[in-house]
Amino acid sequence: MAQTEEKKKSNSKISDIVFIGMSAAIIAVCAWIQIPLTVPITLQTMGVALVAGLFGAKRGTLATLLYILIGAIGVPVFSGFKSGLGVLLGSTGGYIIGFIFTALIVGLVSDKTNKLWAIILSMVLGVFVCYAFGTVWFAVVYAKTNEPASLMTILGWCVIPFLLPDAVKIGVAAVLTNRLKKFIK
């Protein structure tokens, strides 16, 4: 009997490792997919929201942390096939770090419910927190090498162009989460 419980725990840990690794890979692939506009749009946000929605707070947040760690050590997993601490410490690094908060918020709600409206709301809140964290980070880094810019200017560069695309990505991620979550153990 004790062996069976031990085997179940071992299988559960192996499943967690597989799901976390696979999820980090999904986020990386989403980061590489770019829609070339004046400001390129990637599917990173959708990847983070989808992974956290499907796999919950623990696995989703760990997958996001793994993705960031892999990128920090030099594997080109960030958008534009970039990597390294320079990306994380640069002007847009705060948005990447903000993905951790997105994953945590979406994952916590996803652990509690599979109601589409709640998943959408958690994704909106998660992306908003990511925007807030990333925008403050951008302002601080930008001001170190340039004249400080106004909040409206920074929002015009870093947030406003992404509102509609992120709304679409949230919609897709929420529907996929709602439909696919029942197949995830």
Residue ranges and CATH numbers for the domains of the chain are: 2-183 (1.10.1760.20)
| Confidence at residue 36, expressed as pLDDT on a 0 to 100 scale | 83
In the prediction, which pLDDT does 12 show?
80
Give the relative orientation of helices 116-145 and 93-112 as an angle to the nearest 10 degrees. Answer: 160
Q: Say what the pLDDT of residue 3 is.
A: 61
- pLDDT value at position 59? 97
Q: Which residues of the chain have pLDDT under 50?
A: none
Report pLDDT for 79: 93
Q: What integer pLDDT is reported at residue 124 of this predicted model?
A: 98
Residue 25: per-residue pLDDT: 97
At 145 the pLDDT is 93
| pLDDT value at residue 51 | 98
pLDDT of residue 37: 76
Q: Exposure pattern of 76-103 as b/e (b: 16+ CB <10 Å)?
A: bbbbeeebeeebbebbbbbbbbbbbbbb
pLDDT recorded at residue 1: 53
What pLDDT is attached to residue 40? 79
pTM: 0.92
